[in-house]
């Protein structure tokens, strides 16, 4: 369960007139309790969606208010929260830091204090689960964009998090890989918070949050949420 209570994110933008530091609000107070299995976050570029997602695993800490995951506060129990919340970035190249697939998943498993043999076994099992079993020793840079995103997902899920936050995981993918990743995400046992521009995927969620100009302007039924977003963007079919 993800709880945001007045969670606000602000940042200093520099010194303005009179030597006063100017403060920019990146996300106005958000209060909601997310218990649904699939929650989608939609909104325009730069609206604050990613900031909202990053609040959930403590990559961004609230300037005011609180964010808790299964009762753990991201501010005071950041490490424990990150053990429970996996995060998938838009660009897998930003996420994959080791040279080969099996090594990268091995790195994720490092914090579990497993032996090298156990890590290797679990890493290969994770790769096999995502259809990358034969790519274990292949340099990451030689994988396709879709394979890289699957690898990033495999690396996160190998540690068995309770919650998965995905920040536009299909934005850079072609239709086939987008469908593959969507299907995988929909089949997961974990609670998934999906930031996306894919309105079809958002409509299939259990709940949708619409973010616009740093505010959550809609929270509720997915179809209504998508319609609200279309209205905001003045995109009609």
Partner 1 sequence: MSRRQDRHQRPAWSGPLGLYASGTTWLHRLGPGAKSVGLAVVGLLVLVVRGPWGAVLLLAAVTVAAASAGLRRRNVLRSLLPILVTAGVVGLYQWWQRGPAIAVEVAAGLVTVVLAACVVTATTRSDHLLDALGRALAPLRHVGLPPRTVALSVALMIRSVPALLATAGQVRDAARARGLERSPRALLVPAAVRTVARARSTGEALAARGLGD
Q: Which of 111, 142, 53 shows the shortest CA–CA distance to 151?
A: 142
- Window 34 to 73, contacts with partner 1 (CB under 8 A): 57, 59
Q: Would you count residue 79 as binding partner 1 (CB under 8 A)? A: yes
Closest to partner 1 by CB, 14 vs 113, is: 113
Q: Which of 7, 87, 157, 212 binds partner 1 (CB under 8 A)?
A: 87
Q: Which of 100, 116, 25 shows the shortest CA–CA distance to 65?
A: 25
Q: Would you count residue 117 as binding partner 1 (CB under 8 A)? A: no
Query: Of the ranges 17-25, 37-45, 78-86, 168-176, which one interacts with partner 1 (CB under 8 A)?
Result: 78-86
Q: Would you count residue 223 as binding partner 1 (CB under 8 A)? A: no
Residues 6 or more apart from 151 whose CB is under 8 A from it?
92, 96, 101, 104, 105, 127, 130, 132, 135, 140, 143
Closest to partner 1 by CB, 26 vs 203, is: 26
171-180 long-range Cβ contacts below 8 angstroms, 24+ apart: 171/90, 171/196, 171/197, 172/90, 172/91, 172/92, 172/145, 173/145, 173/146, 173/149, 174/145, 174/146, 176/146, 177/144, 177/145, 177/146, 177/149, 177/150, 180/146, 180/150
CB of 232 to partner 1, least distance (A): 29
Q: Would you count residue 116 as binding partner 1 (CB under 8 A)? A: yes
Applying CB under 8 A, the site for partner 1 has a residue count of 32
> Going residue by residue from 165 to 204, which x/- string records binding to partner 1, judged by CB under 8 A?
----------------------------------------
Q: Which residues bind partner 1 (CB under 8 A)?
A: 57, 59, 78-79, 82-83, 87, 89, 91, 94-100, 102-103, 106-108, 110-111, 116, 119, 137, 139, 141-142, 155-156, 159
């Amino acid at each position: 369960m993800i709880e945001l209570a007045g969670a606000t994110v602000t940042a200093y933008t520099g010194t303005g007139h009179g030597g006063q530091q100017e403060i920019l609000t990146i996300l106005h107070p958000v209060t909601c309790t997310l218990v649904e299995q699939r929650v989608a976050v939609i909104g325009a570029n730069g609206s604050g969606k990613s900031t909202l997602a990053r609040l959930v695993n403590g990559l961004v800490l609230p300037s005011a208010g609180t964010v808790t995951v299964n009762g753990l506060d991201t501010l005071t129990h950041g490490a424990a929260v990150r053990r429970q919340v996996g995060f998938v970035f838009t660009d897998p190249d930003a996420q994959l830091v080791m040279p080969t697939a099996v090594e990268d998943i091995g790195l994720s498993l490092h914090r579990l204090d497993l032996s090298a043999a156990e890590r290797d076994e679990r890493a290969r099992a994770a790769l096999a689960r995502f259809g990358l079993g034969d790519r274990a020793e292949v340099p990451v840079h030689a994988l396709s964009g879709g394979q890289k995103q699957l690898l990033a997902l495999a690396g996160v899920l190998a540690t068995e998090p309770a919650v998965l936050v995905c920040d536009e995981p299909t934005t850079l993918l072609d239709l086939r890989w987008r469908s593959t990743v969507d299907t995988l995400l929909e089949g997961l046992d974990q609670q998934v918070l999906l930031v996306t521009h894919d309105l079809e995927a958002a409509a299939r969620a259990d709940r949708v949050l619409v973010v616009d100009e740093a505010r959550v302007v809609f929270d509720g039924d997915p179809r209504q949420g998508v319609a609200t977003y279309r209205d905001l963007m003045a995109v009609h079919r």
